Amino acid sequence: MWRATPIGLARLARPANIITAYSDILAGYAAATAAIPAALPYLLVATTGLYGGGVVFNDVCDADLDATERPERPIPSGIVSLGAATAFGAVLLIAAVVIARQWSPLSGLLAAGTAVAALLYDRVGKHHAALGPLNMGLCRALNLLLGVTAGGRITGLHWLLAAVPLCYIAGITSLSRGEVKGGTRVAAILSGCWLVAGFVLFLALVVSQGVHAAWCLPFAVALLLRIAGPLGRAFRSLTPEAIRHAIKTGVLSLILLNASLAAVFAGPWYAVGVLLLYVPAMLLARLFAVT
């Protein structure tokens, strides 16, 4: 009933993906009004629990399906029991909200909203072709806004900022529906529309910040070069292998997107610091599954 191993729990939590969640917090922190450095430990630990708990419950909700389609995953393979996985995910999410609340009521509210959005996606959203990607994108948008709470308030500009990763992740999620049995042309078109919308919103954000925001361009170009090939191959072939590679690249490249967003507000050197997260994320991706 409560069988679990440390490596099994680590596999459930997707460590490489948690590193990308740190980049959300750092991008939000860069855009925060009068950000306070003391907030970062609370917010980074909170996002560890939020992302970890969210993906643990993803596997909990998919346990029956994974027994057929993904038998190598921790729950169907027997490394971690369903009861232990459920308890682990619950502890991560509850701890995340409590720790975020230690910084500020607003941070606690954003953490709670992120946890609810993640559970909604795991239980309901993922089964809807249109609403699922939006739901998953909302999780990332709220996580970025959690970083903004280091400054104590959220403005209209911050909502525009959060809309960029919302669209990006919605595009990646739309495509990911075909990573087991292959994709469809409709899903590919929907994915492309989300990604284009994200690009347009990114340009609007850059223009709103004036000439100094041009520091983001090298990072944005690096992002486009990194994802163009895998996404292009996935859109053309729609095979499970091509889609899985594109999704893995797209998720890890969220660090590049967040570095680009951070550069808009905090300049190139801060963005380079965010970009350095790509190193541990890539190393962890060799040891643990990303999708």
Around Cβ 268, how many Cβ atoms within 10 Å? 15
16 located within any domain: yes
CA dist 277 → 83, 198, 213, 253, 270 (Å): 33, 22, 22, 10, 12
Residue 2: the pLDDT is 77
Residue 128: the pLDDT is 87
Residue 212: the pLDDT is 85
Residue 180: the pLDDT is 66
1 located within any domain: no
Task: Domain of residue 27: give its range.
Answer: 6-287
151 located within any domain: yes
pLDDT tens string, the chain, 291 residues long: the values are 678 889 999 999 999 999 999 999 999 999 998 899 999 999 999 999 999 999 999 999 998 888 888 888 999 999 999 999 999 999 999 999 999 999 999 999 999 999 999 999 999 988 888 899 999 999 999 999 999 999 988 999 999 999 999 999 999 999 987 666 777 888 889 999 999 999 999 999 999 998 888 899 999 999 999 999 999 999 999 898 999 999 999 999 999 999 999 999 999 999 999 999 999 999 999 998 887
272 located within any domain: yes
110 located within any domain: yes
**Total structural domains within the chain:** 1
96 located within any domain: yes
**Residue 130 φ/ψ, nearest 5 degrees:** -95, -50
CB 65 within 8 A of CB 123: no
92 located within any domain: yes
Residue 103: the pLDDT is 97
Which CATH number belongs to the domain containing residue 162 in this structure? 1.10.357.140
239 located within any domain: yes
